[in-house]
Amino acid sequence: MDLLGYPYCLGRVFHLIEEDRGQYDTPVPIFWASGTALFLKREAVEEVGGLDEEFFMHMEEIDLCWRLHRAGWEVWSVPASVVYHRSGWSLPHSFRKMYLNHRNNLVLLLKNYDLPSLLALFPLRVLLEVLTVLRAPLEEPERSLAALLGMLWVSINIRDIARRRKGAWRVRKVPDDRLRRRLSAQSILFWYGIYRKRGMPLPCAKL
């Protein structure tokens, strides 16, 4: 995930999927793992709590992994594991899926960043959401509306988000400046819009 909260995976950024040439066959620490293939230690879940059900769907596993990191646990990719998963089965591509992604990603940042990080990064993230609202009506009207409704929901429910934030910070063993080092400083949107046109490799060296 990058500093602005845009998630990506080993070998995948948005809809672009890298050819598997064995480049990710070595176990490595990562910032988050998909809930479709996430094994957790019981004591870790007991310490930080389980999935935040108020997300309903999307971003909830990233929120959990963020809390695990804050409590001093690690998240690793284990390439030798074999997982069978039908993507999008729970919620196929739809307006609701886009809305939850936009809404929950903003909630994710508000829940988990410390105040200095929020003041530095969240306004820029909101600006990008506003640009999505303004840019997308002709190209992707559903995405434009999804981003707008996501911001409206967050502004209306800010007190409830503050309550959820308090619970997320219940266990804090690792300072935020150390957690930020586990995020990619390279903007995924910038890479997606510019670097990929020049044939640059996926920025998956640091998740």
What per-residue confidence (pLDDT) applies to 12?
Answer: 79
DSSP 50-111: S--GGG-SSSHHHHHHHHHHHTT--EEE-TT------TTSSS-SSHHHHHHHHHHHHHHHHH
**What's the pLDDT at 200?**
47
Query: Which tokens in the block code for residue 75?
Result: 């998240």
Cα 71 from Cα 46, distance rounded (Å): 11
What mean pLDDT do residues 31-44 have?
A: 91
Q: With bands split at pLDDT 50, 70 and 90, how would you rate the model's confidence at 207?
A: very low
Q: How many CB atoms lie within 10 A of CB 80?
A: 7
Whole-angstrom distance, CA of residue 97 vs CA of residue 143: 10
For 11-31, the pLDDT digits (tens) are 777 777 778 888 888 898 999
The amino acid present at 182, given as its one-letter code, is: R
3-state secondary structure of 12: strand
Calculate the alpha carbon distances from 171 to 2, 38, 40, 53 in Å: 23, 21, 17, 19
Per-residue pLDDT reduced to its tens digit, 54-86: 998 889 999 999 999 999 999 999 988 888 877
Q: What is the pLDDT of residue 163?
A: 95
pLDDT over 80 at 175, yes or no: yes
Of 187, 111, 98, nearest to 150 by C-alpha is 98
Is the pLDDT score of 172 beyond 60? yes
pLDDT for res 205:
43
Structure tokens at 91: 């919620």
The DSSP annotation for 150-161 comes to: HHHHHHHTHHHH
Tell me what pLDDT residue 22 has: 86
8 Å CB contact between 27 and 34? no
**Residue 112 CB neighbour total at 10 angstroms:** 22
14's enclosing H/E stretch is none
Q: What is the pLDDT of residues 85-113, one digit of tens each?
A: 776 655 567 899 999 999 999 999 999 99
Give the per-residue pLDDT at 206: 44
Half-sphere exposure of 132 toward its Cβ, with a 13 Å CA cutoff?
20
Q: Residue 14 CB: number of other CB atoms within 10 A? A: 12
Q: Other C-beta atoms within 10 Å of 137: how many?
A: 14
